[in-house]
Amino acid sequence: MASEWKTLPLEECLDAIIDYRGKTPRKVDAGIPLITAKIVKNGRIQEPTEFISPADFDDWMTRGLPRIGDVVLTTEAPLGEVAQIGQLPVALAQRIVTLRGKRGLVDNNFLLYALQSEPMQTQMKGRSSGTTVLGIKQSELRKVVLAIPPMERQQLAASVLKALDTRISLLEETNATLEAIAQTLFKSWFVDFDPVHAKAEGRVPDGMDVATAALFPDTFEDSPLGPIPQGWRAASLSDCMELNPQRVLRKGSLASYLDMANAPTQGHRPAEITQRELGSGSKFTNGDTLLAKITPCLENGKTAFVDFLADNEVGWGSTEFIVMRPKAPLPPFWGYLLARMPNFRAFAIQAMTGTSGRQRVDLGSLKQFSVVVPDDGVAEAFEKIIEPLRARIAAASSHADSLSQLRDTLLPRLISGKLRLPDAQVIEKAIP
């Protein structure tokens, strides 16, 4: 019943607000993960990229220590991204506040989803300041009002949403494993030449059937790149790839659009595809690889493989993508896996020109990247192995997208109490 609900300012709903704004820790290459605003996205804490030394931890974390289940909120650039701490130890950076629901009043899981709801996001933006970049002061955050249902309803609402998020996370972890397998296989065959080395030493290549092993030579030959498998060839990137191939879209037509913000830094599937009227930008079809060419997007790993369009559909995106497509018989996904290789990315970064902060890859230089191209039989065998992996990743990504849409649909109804408890319980049991 509505009479059982309470409406209180956030500061009365919390046992702790931990805020490290105004301090900058000394960062190291490895150590205790640092939660920054950059890695809090879409309700999750992404893989940390910055760390502090364990020796500095006690001196840095003097304003309070987070606990498992605490909610982290970005206060600026961007404002309003929310996630939950799932493991310790972690250090907290600037532009992050950590919130802990008051025992017996606010469930932390409920708080996680309530802060993602439109009413709470609207309140935070309304109390923010700044023109180019919006930010919220702690004094204003404390005044944001939270509608609090009875604890049983909080916990049930959160459990439904949490079950969906858990399923989505499992699908994403499976995809990460499948892509790691694909990248390992690519490196083994086309960078380290493991099957050829094995045959040269009189061994059967690991994990390979007889028919596939027979496609590989057992000797090497000299090339400008050094020894390469006999019958394979050394080539430049432009010899084996189409770069920015011609694609036709009628001006002003509505088409699938990928902006740079939604290009993935890990995995090949973009976070979101929208529909937008064609303007100036790159054009692509299924089977193309999109490589960010501008700093810091290239260094951050923004790279996508296009398998999200309908058959024969042409999409478009940021002008800051280089579109890559392998020439037959190299399979399309071969191009994406090459673009994820550390040596390729290092070469692309070295090929950047321009003023500091606005550097871009020089396409003429990138074309000179050296590649070892296998013979047709090996290329076709690789496609037979790799295409089912890619298809599984795509299917799991589509399933995760459907679950995300269901979560986003349910979230406002569960948080506001518009969805009845019995209906919520049915939905929770039916989550695939």
Domain count of the fold of the chain: 2
Q: Does residue 419 form part of some domain?
A: no
Rounded CA separation 31/50 (Å): 9
Structure confidence at residue 25 (pLDDT): 80
Q: What is the CATH number of the domain that holds 85?
A: 3.90.220.20
Of 148, 175, 210, which residue sits at a domain end?
148
List, in order, residues 6 or more apart from 240 with CB less than 8 Å away: 326, 327, 330, 371, 373
Predicted confidence (pLDDT) per residue in 100-120, tens digit: 999 999 999 999 999 999 999
Q: Does residue 283 form part of some domain?
A: yes
Q: Which two tokens stand for residue 187?
A: 């490196």
Range of the domain at 284: 237-373
**Phi-psi label, residue 150: left if phi above 0, alpha if psi -120 to 50, beta otherwise:** beta
Q: What is the mean pLDDT of the segment spanning 333-350?
A: 96
State what percent of residues in the chain have pLDDT above 90. Answer: 73
List, in order, residues 6 or more apart from 61 with CB less than 8 Å away: 91, 92
Q: Does residue 426 form part of some domain?
A: no
Predicted confidence (pLDDT) per residue in 5-61, tens digit: 999 999 999 999 999 877 778 889 999 999 998 889 888 898 888 999 999 888 888
Q: Does residue 321 form part of some domain?
A: yes
Q: Does residue 22 form part of some domain?
A: yes
Structure confidence at residue 252 (pLDDT): 81
Q: What is the mean pLDDT of the segment spanning 118-146?
A: 92
Report how far apart, in Å, the C-alpha atoms of 214 and of each of 190, 208, 378, 396 are. 16, 10, 10, 33
Structure confidence at residue 2 (pLDDT): 56
Reported residue count of the chain is: 432
Rounded CA separation 379/383 (Å): 6
Same domain, 29 and 138: yes
Report how far apart, in Å, the C-alpha atoms of 297 and of each of 30, 56, 132, 264 are. 22, 30, 20, 10
Structure confidence at residue 132 (pLDDT): 79
Q: Does residue 84 form part of some domain?
A: yes
Of 115, 148, 181, which residue sits at a domain end?
148
Structure confidence at residue 302 (pLDDT): 94
Q: What is the mean pLDDT of the segment spanning 118-140?
A: 91
Average pLDDT, the chain: 92
Q: What is the mean pLDDT of the segment spanning 299-305?
A: 94
Of 148, 174, 206, which residue sits at a domain end?
148
Structure confidence at residue 395 (pLDDT): 94
Contact 305, 333 (CB under 8 A): yes
Rounded CA separation 279/290 (Å): 18
Residue of 66 and 418 predicted with greater confidence:
66
Q: Does residue 163 form part of some domain?
A: no
Same domain, 15 and 140: yes
Q: Does residue 241 form part of some domain?
A: yes
Report phi then psi at 215, rounded to 5.
-75, -20
Same domain, 141 and 253: no
Confidence of residue 356 (pLDDT cuts 50, 70, 90): confident
